[in-house]
Chain A
């Protein structure tokens, strides 16, 4: 009888521990730490990229590898899964460029204004999801700005609600529909402020 309770107790303990370890972290790594398939893709990138930095990101159970670099004045972020397959490629864009897409911007702004009185756009990226085949032609068409399929927009924003200030990571499709919205924790400053 007592054994059963002990096992049950241990089980719940493990569940709690697991829930607590949902930690988002990223660390700088070297090319050799990337999955082999991803290493090959990086080696085949067109010449002319600068400031290549490689990261391994862990978000709870999910692990991904990200290559960040500058290509033809664009800030690019290329994400791979643990098997080395491309997940997506994100390119930073300016507020000005987003505002030019009036319909899209109006819908995004409506969502942000529904969340709070004031908002501030911190970072905007165009997100190109990999269709699953022909990695290199996909990459080249995105980098050379000839890609013609659907793209998403990832925005990191800060919103002032009635009572609070919140940081959100949001994803919209081309029609301005919200796909994902999640809270992100701002980095601490209390060790520097005083």
Chain B
């Protein structure tokens, strides 16, 4: 039953991607590669550090490789209930040196609830973000539904794969700016290559500012997640 729904979600995302590709004028393709380190100090407290590089692969109706930004982030996560966790995040985004864009300091407050339905794991993640740019501050509210499952067996072991599907709404507010809403979908395939390391890759489709003028963005995501 899990595989049935997984295939449906994948098909839906592919459909969205093909629709977005048709709307060429507001379409761009990017890639994002990340390296993440996770460390559990106890079941109560876990720390996360990540370095991500984002780059253009397709813009203005042509293919070209163009680095856009570098993100350095840290999250501190606390277990607050049997299936609940709360996290505080700090991120620095470097863009001025790379493409003359604005640098950003981002603070995140997050709450997550997860549950299991057979081999499927369902997570609900709520985020409040404060994005500090040199000339303005933007507030964001996000809700993400994530469903994941191991591909071989009932739990993920070394040498086995897994699937993650997500759907997220992002709303941005600020003084002197229009309120915008985005929606994002992603489908990722991962592999536990050793006891400590996972490799993940997939696609994320974003429909940005759909209440103003939709910008369609497709991401090719690749990452390595290491457990320290």
Contacts and interface: CB of A to CB of B under 8 A. Distances in A.
A163 B156 contact: no
B185 to A, nearest CB: 15
B201 interface: no
B158 A190 contact: no
B46 interface: yes
Interface stretch (B24-32, B79-87, B97-105, B134-142): B79-87
Nearest to B199: A191
A106 interface: no
A193 B85 contact: yes
Interface in A1-40: 23-28
Interface string A138-173: 000000000000000000001010011110000000
B77 A193 contact: yes
B178 to A, nearest CB: 28
A97 B9 CA distance: 36
A194 B48 contact: yes
Contact of A194 (B43, B50, B148): B50
Contacts of B146: 192
Interface string A162-186: 0111100000000000000000001
B157 A25 contact: yes
Interface residues of A, number: 24
Given A158-B82, A164-B42, A164-B43, A27 B125 contact: no
Contact of B164 (A28, A55, A192): A192
Contacts of A23: 157-158
Given A165-B43, A192-B146, A192-B148, A27 B50 contact: no
Contacts of A186: 43
B5 to A, nearest CB: 15
Interface in B50-108: 50, 73, 75, 77, 79, 82, 85, 87, 89
Nearest to B42: A164
Contact of B75 (A28, A166, A194): A194
The 7 A-B pairs of least Cβ separation, nearest first, read A190-B38, A25-B157, A165-B43, A191-B225, A120-B82, A26-B153, A164-B43
21 contacts: A24-B157, A25-B157, A25-B158, A26-B153, A27-B152, A158-B82, A160-B82, A163-B44, A165-B82, A187-B121, A187-B156, A188-B38, A191-B200, A192-B123, A192-B146, A192-B164, A193-B77, A193-B87, A193-B125, A194-B48, A194-B73
